[in-house]
Amino acid sequence: MATTTWTRRHILSLADFAPTEYDTVLQTAASFREVLSRRTKKVPTLQGQMVANLFFEPSTRTRSSFELAAKRLSADVLNFTPGTSSLTKGETILDTAKTYLAMGTDMMVIRHREAGVPQAIAFEMDRLGVRVGVLNAGDGQHEHPSQGLLDLFTICSLIDVEHPRLELLVGKKIAIVGDILHSRVARSNIWSLTATGAKVHLAGPPTLVPQLFAQSVTGRPGELFIHWEVEPALKDADFVMTLRLQKERMTAHLLPSLREYHQRYGITRDRLKLCHPDVKVLHPGPVNRGVEITSDLMDDPQFSLISQQVTSGVAVRMALLYLMGSGKT
């Protein structure tokens, strides 16, 4: 395992992640990928520690991935489901977190439909003076740092499987296509991809790709471009990230129709011909098949990295829990 001087107690956002932190995560995740390829896919690293998975919003992959990551590290895991919890009796989120704290939780993995909830719980843990690490597993439209890191790990591993590292992205063109406005995944990816010299091209309808995103990366090593047509973003791209149209977050009529969206922005075999010949396609899931990407392309291993992303997710989340938990053991 990589020796490290990890000092971050909470992982809430990638906005202030340092290049060395990215590289530590990538290197540690590569070690855990090796563990996951063994016959016995478990290490005793977090034995005796407890991870609480507090998912106040539905999730398939992120929640299962954190659960499996914690179990592979031999931690005890508590899973919280809002529908069957005391939230329905009026308990506040902070009181729920404190209940898990009183049971001896060492790390809390939090997903919530409102931005800022993981941060609020982290503040409260710090105020109480307890050494509990809080990991943001997606908060509203704000950030989804573990998804940004697993996407980074997937991309860097494709370039150099043995030594995935940030510098591999220098000069790479990465197109992020779709509903950027509502996407916490896009926000976290913009931070990680511009932390080095990558060229990030955002594309989608003007209602879903606000111009002001361009200002957010001023002064960072990477560059960011905005397109309201998909073709210029795809031209010679090394990687294409498609994003789900987040219908549940759309309060206004931001799109004419899903059919028209697919016609103008959907990722199809024809459109991929504009990209670099070795282009790969990512999607954080869940996918609206036939809307943001054609169904057959999604399942085509020549182009699609979607299942690698899911596999990478476990190794990356093991790395995050290990790094946050290692200060305690």
List residues binding ligand NCD (CB under 6 A).
61-62, 138, 144, 147, 184-185, 244, 246, 284-285
The rounded distance, in Å, linking the Cα atoms of 121 and 305 is: 34
Least distance to ligand NCD, CB of residue 2, Å: 26
Report the nearest approach of ligand NCD to the CB of residue 248 (Å).
Answer: 9
Give the whole-angstrom CA distance, residue 55 versus residue 58. 7
Within the chain, strands assigned E span: 50-55, 76-80, 107-112, 133-139, 173-177, 199-203, 223-227, 239-242, 280-282
H-type alpha helices, 49-139:
61-72, 93-102, 117-127
Report in angstroms how near the CB of residue 149 gets to ligand NCD at its nearest.
Answer: 12
- Residue closer to ligand NCD, measured from CB, 72 or 184: 184
- 61 or 235: whose CB is closer to ligand NCD? 61
- Nearer to ligand NCD by Cβ, of 45 and 304: the residue is 304
Tell me what percent of the chain is helix, strand and coil, each rounded to the nearest 5: 40, 15, 40
- Name the residue nearer to ligand NCD (CB basis): 19 or 58: 58
Q: Which residue is nearest to ligand NCD (CB)?
A: 244
Specify the residue, 111 or 199, whose C-beta has the smaller distance to ligand NCD. 111
Nearest to 321 by CA among 20, 17, 28: 28
Smallest gap, in angstroms, from Cβ of residue 62 to ligand NCD? 4
Shortest Cβ 56–ligand NCD spacing (Å): 12
Q: How far apart are CA 304 and CA 285, in angstroms?
A: 12
